[in-house]
Amino acid sequence: MLTFVISEALSNLRRGGRVAVSAVLLITLSLAALGAFWVLSLNLGRAVGEWRDRLRIVVYLREEPPPAALGEFLQTVEAVGGVQRLRYVSKAEALRTLRQQLGGQASPVEQLPTNPLPPSVEITPSPEASTPEGTRALIQRLSALAEVEEVQGGTEWVEWLAQLQGLLQVIGLAVGAVLALAAILTVTTATTLVLHARREEMEIMRLVGASEMVIRLPLFLQGLAQGLVGAAVAVGGLGLAYRFALPTLEPLLAVTLGLPRAAFFSPAEIALLLSGGAVLGAVGGLMAKGGRAA
């Protein structure tokens, strides 16, 4: 029975001709579009995550606290709430860091009569304080401290990036959904044409007592195969595009988003795309109407 069902599905695919090929192409297009937006969103998501992790608030102080009072001052800062970690950067350490950063061009710094850099406290906000509202409130509380000259830091642009990621996801889903619908309809048409061409066989099958499952299963398998092939071509195409674009893409991502490496789909995500294609095809195959039901 299984041999019969599989051989019928293969024969349906052969008989589907150009319409069957169109269906595969449409599934490829819909999943490639969906996949492309997904990869973009995946990388933006990683950038958002990394930037959220790197988020720091720098509290510049009016003057360096005396060493005996430093511990108490840092406790005061911690007590404002929303602080996960803090690190005091003295004037001397700030100057050392500046020298290191300037490297060979540090000579003007050496000529300064006094150290102009302010002492500061670098604060890593707690997860609750990492949201735009949380960060704004933390900055307000820190600014209210008497020893504080200025507070710098914020999450606005990270949140903008997150919003862009969300927008990309929505656009990707919308384009993918429209193309997926078109793909389902094309598979349905391809299968209906096969059914029309095979109506005599279907009639005989029903007449001799074949169950509806035996009649419909080859159509389901036909759609499933079309979907799988379409999805595999889409994943393969995206993989090739990713590989070719990588040398150009990675430096760009490093400069704009600070991502050292571009990410592609994980094996689980590839399996999800392939399953998506198979489902699209199978739904198209099952929706086909033709031949007279019992």
Residues contributing to the site for other proteins (CB under 8 A) = 1, 3-4, 200-201, 203-212, 214, 294
- Write down the least CB distance from residue 22 to other proteins, Å: 24
Separation CA 143–CA 136 (nearest Å):
11
- Write down the least CB distance from residue 283 to other proteins, Å: 22
- Write down the least CB distance from residue 192 to other proteins, Å: 20
Both structure tokens of 147? 């020893």
Nearer to other proteins, 214 or 287 (CB): 214
Separation CA 121–CA 261 (nearest Å):
31
CA neighbor of 281 nearest in space, from 5, 4, 9, 37:
9
Nearer to other proteins, 213 or 271 (CB): 213
Separation CA 149–CA 29 (nearest Å):
57
Separation CA 164–CA 291 (nearest Å):
49
- Write down the least CB distance from residue 7 to other proteins, Å: 9
What residue has token string 């759609």?
Answer: 223
What residue has token string 């800062």?
Answer: 77
Separation CA 9–CA 3 (nearest Å):
10
- Write down the least CB distance from residue 9 to other proteins, Å: 14
Nearer to other proteins, 8 or 281 (CB): 8
Nearer to other proteins, 178 or 293 (CB): 293
Q: Reading across the β-sheet that carries 83-89, which strands appear in turn?
A: 83-89, 120-125, 57-61, 148-152
Nearer to other proteins, 150 or 212 (CB): 212
Q: Count CA atoms within 13 Å of residue 77 on its CB side.
A: 29
Separation CA 44–CA 101 (nearest Å):
28
- Write down the least CB distance from residue 293 to other proteins, Å: 9
Nearer to other proteins, 96 or 199 (CB): 199
Query: How many residues does this entry show for the chain?
Result: 294
